Structure formats: structure tokens, C-alpha cells
Structure 1
């Protein structure tokens, strides 16, 4: 029942706790399917951290999503409940202790296939998601001191592989974000694979992180989609995408650019630490420099 690739990557990432969770997963799946009166209709599939079980409930297509119990996944159901289906997938049932959700089922086509400008569409969705955040949602500003410390520690550990000006610019951006008082919901991991075609609305988001703060933060992930289309003219291509997204999302384009640069610095360091392909490191390096 559990896809082999999903089991392998979970154990590789989580170690013994991942193996224990996988051992419990069949029973968890059966429990929640029965509890929520669902019938499985197809083999389970998976994302990076969750098992996805296609099912029906009273004749309606649904999916059961069971995520590895990691703190980073804790606020996804709260974000979806806050949006209540507006611009986002419908949350039908939740069991926060088990990291289980029952969700509406979407066709599966992602925004990467859109014939319209996908960066404008993503920005429009980001604007719609920017509703007042409930008090239990983590604030982006609360993560910023840790981000600064991580940048400095990783850079030191790696022997300072990036020019100091790139690190300094990223740290200055973190300070600017700390002064931002935006207290609305943002997705936190907005990219084309997390925006799916739907029936009741043209496009809906899935897999939010559950954060409150400026949607300028999400510019960094959305502008890197389909990057191969602008590789030969990367700087003007990035600026064009940032401008389109920022206008549609209603965010400060300068802050979107600066946040994208800072997150590129983070990516450049993280990818080196985790021995990622040189091509990805080179791209992060270029973005970190071009958006200074």
C-alpha cells in the first residue's frame, strides 16, 4: 500500500522515527478512512512528506492526506480552515494529533500548464489568501532571528563561499522583514506544483506552510518556476516575473526582490551543505548576485 519510493525517502530523511511512522501508516490509513466514512478508490500516491489516498465519501471524490508528524506541518490545517475554500483546497475533516486531513479532490493539473500568465495568476491567489491571520498561526517575524543566525552559521561552516555583500544584503533584508507589520495569511511555499486546477474555481492552492506575514516572502519560490525559460536572460526575466507577481499580489516590489535575493542566499548555502547538484548551486549563486 505504501509506495516504495515514499518509504525510502522518508527513512532517508527522518531515520528511525520515519521507519516507525511508516510501520503505523497502514493502520492510520484504515482508521481514518473508516472514521470519516470513506472508501479508497485507487492506489495511494505521495508527495515529499505525505501519503495521499484517493477515496470517495457519499459519492464525492476526496483525498486522505497523512503527513509525517513534523512541527513544520502542524499549521497546514489551520491555514486551510482559515481560508475556508477561498483560493485554497477545501478542508473537510482534520485530526491534528495524527497529522491527518480529509480534503476535496482536485484534477491534478498544476499551474505550470496555464496558458495565461502564471506569475500573475499566482500573485492574484496570494492577494486572495491575504486574510487576517488567527492568533495561533506562527508569524513570519518570529522566524527571522533564527534565519539570521542560520545564515551566519552556515556561511562560517562552509568557509564563507559567497561574497560578503550577498550575505550582508540578505541580513539587511531580514531586518527589513522584521519591521514589516503585515499580519495576514501567506502560503509560505507558493510554487506551480502547489497550485492546482479546480472545478469550483479556476485554480486553488494546496500544501500551505501556515504563516502570517507579507506575501513578498512567496515571490522567491514562484519566480524560480520554469527557470529554464529565462536562463539565457536571467536578470531581466527575474525582474519581469517579480514585477508581475508583486503587482498582482499587492506587495512592495522592492521587498519582493530583496526577499528573493535573501532566500537565494539561503538556498546557495543549504544546497552546498547537502551536496546538491552543482547546477542548482550555480543558479542560486546567480540569483543571489543579480538581485542585489
Structure 2
């Protein structure tokens, strides 16, 4: 069976010391059970992930699946949002969501060729395609029981997690975070309880043969305008001045509220999401 990457084991142990050991010990048996239930065999390919065991498997008919296991307490919400995104044809088809005593498993169709917008710089047609896909989210209810993005963002703004920051920058200045909290209070008007990806950065947008797919949602409800802001910020390499007009342009194409998308830029930038 495909073994766990040492860096993932170390990262999971550091983040969830109360759960990681049991998760690591149970992985071989749980992977065997998942493969048996899906009638697939691991190919030996392991995908890079920070806190999850992600492997490729194939069926006797040649279909390729991606199997993912994480000890994260919130992985069950990530799986629920992924399943909802698949139901509206934004994410690959999901074939299994399983919660065990140690982890949450998902199995979804593999994306081929599967290069991300982080690996292959997006062109204008790619950005238009992503924006058009975001239209699907505008009227979609949130995933049942998934938490709102609002408290998570407020927590990052009040007490920035030192161990969970982008590699090229640290927490925003206190004055910027206070200003962002005021903006977040205005945005918190009940409009952020809908289906959204909540981590729509270039590594999470993959190229298929004829279209783009999204993977690895954060597992929270929000709104399409928030996804627009995150995508614009990451495509602008976290440069605030260029992000705001970029977000407005994407929002107009997607049909999302451009004013809210621009306001969300202030929040996601100060929250260093």
C-alpha cells in the first residue's frame, strides 16, 4: 500500500497531536478498506498535501480516482462542500465520503492532465472561464452544517495565527486588521451563508482536457464575492493595489456583487488568507 509522506506525518503530528498518531496507525487498514469498497488499486502516486494523505488509485476499467484522508476535525465540512461543488459541476465527481474514528476520507475523479493555474500561468480565457463558473454559486445554498467563513476570518484578524501565514508575508499591521474588522462587520449581513469554495487560489484550480475544475475547498459557507476576492488577491501575488480592480473585473464577469468583492479584498488581504 502507498505509504504516508514523512513531511505530512510530521505536520499532522504538530498540528493535531491528540489525533495524528491514531490516524497514522489506522491509515493502512482504512486505505485497504476504501480501495476494496471502490474496487480500485493504488497506483503508487502520492500527491503533495500539507496535512492529508492523498493518493491515486485506478479501477479495472482504467478509471483514475484521487483518495484523500485527513485527521483534520474540519475535514468532514471540507468533504461536504466538495460534494456540493461536484453536484453543481464545479468539482470532479465524488464517489465516496467516509468518516472514521480517526479521519475523513473522500474519493473523487482524477483530473487529467491536472496542472494547476499555479503551475501554468492562467491566460485571459482561463480567468473568464473561472469567472463564468462562479455564476453557478450565486444562488446555491450553503453546505449543511458547514460553518460560516465570518467567524474564521474574524479570528484571524483579531489574533493572527503565526504558524499559518503565507510563506512570503506575515500578519498584517494592527491598524489594517482593525480596519478590516470594520469592513467585515458591514459584510456580515446574512449574505454569506451560501455555497462557496472559500480557498479559490490558483493551486486549487486544475486544468482538465476541455475545462477547469476546482478542488480542496476550505469547508465553509460564504459567497461567490468572497471567492472572487481570494482569487484576485492570489493572482495579484498579494499586491493589494492591483487586487481591487482585478476583483471588480472578475466579479462583473461572474455576476457577483462587485462592491462586495472589492470589500472582501480588504478583509482577505488583512487576514492573510
TM-score range, shorter chain: 0.7 to 0.9
**Structure 1 residue 22: deviation in Å?**
1.5
**Structure 1 residue 139: deviation in Å?**
5.2
Structure 1 counterpart of 2:168: none
1:121 to 125, 129, 135: 129
- Residues of 1 paired with 2:25 and 2:245: CA distance? 48
**Structure 1 residue 151: deviation in Å?**
2.9
2:173 to 153, 162, 166: 162
- Residues of 2 paired with 1:161 and 1:202: CA distance? 36
After superposition, the Cα gap between the structure-2 partners of 1:226 and 1:94, relative to the gap in structure 1 and judged at 3 Å, is: same
Deviation digits for residues 240-287 of structure 1 (CA, Å, limit 9, x no counterpart):
3212221123222222122121222222xx9xxxxxxxxxxxxxxxxx
1:171 to 2:181 alignment: yes
Structure 2 counterpart of 1:278: none
After superposition, the Cα gap between the structure-2 partners of 1:134 and 1:243, relative to the gap in structure 1 and judged at 3 Å, is: closer
Secondary structure of residue in 2 paired with 1:185 = coil
Structure 2 counterpart of 1:138: 146
- Residues of 1 paired with 2:174 and 2:143: CA distance? 39
- Residues of 1 paired with 2:192 and 2:254: CA distance? 13
Structure 2 counterpart of 1:282: none
Secondary structure of residue in 1 paired with 2:44 = coil
What is the TM-score with the length of structure 1 in the denominator? 0.76
Deviation digits for residues 175-221 of structure 1 (CA, Å, limit 9, x no counterpart):
1221143553111111111111124x500111122333321212342
Structure 1 counterpart of 2:65: 62
- Residues of 2 paired with 1:124 and 1:55: CA distance? 31
Whether the 8 Å contact between 1:137 and 1:210 is mirrored in structure 2 is no
1:39 to 38, 41, 55: 41
- How many correspondences in the alignment? 255
**Structure 1 residue 19: deviation in Å?**
2.8
Structure 1 counterpart of 2:74: 72
Whether the 8 Å contact between 1:65 and 1:102 is mirrored in structure 2 is yes
**Structure 1 residue 117: deviation in Å?**
4.6
After superposition, the Cα gap between the structure-2 partners of 1:23 and 1:46, relative to the gap in structure 1 and judged at 3 Å, is: farther
- Residues of 2 paired with 1:75 and 1:149: CA distance? 18
- Residues of 2 paired with 1:46 and 1:23: CA distance? 20
After superposition, the Cα gap between the structure-2 partners of 1:188 and 1:100, relative to the gap in structure 1 and judged at 3 Å, is: same
**Structure 1 residue 226: deviation in Å?**
4.5
What is the TM-score with the length of structure 2 in the denominator? 0.80
Structure 1 counterpart of 2:167: none
Whether the 8 Å contact between 2:142 and 2:193 is mirrored in structure 1 is no
* Higher percent of residues as helix: 1
> Structure 2: where are the runs of 5+ without partners?
162-170
Structure 2 counterpart of 1:288: none
Structure 1 counterpart of 2:104: 99
- Residues of 2 paired with 1:194 and 1:240: CA distance? 22
Secondary structure of residue in 1 paired with 2:265 = helix
Secondary structure of residue in 1 paired with 2:45 = coil
1:242 to 2:247 alignment: yes
Structure 2 counterpart of 1:90: 93
After superposition, the Cα gap between the structure-2 partners of 1:262 and 1:28, relative to the gap in structure 1 and judged at 3 Å, is: same
- Residues of 2 paired with 1:194 and 1:202: CA distance? 14
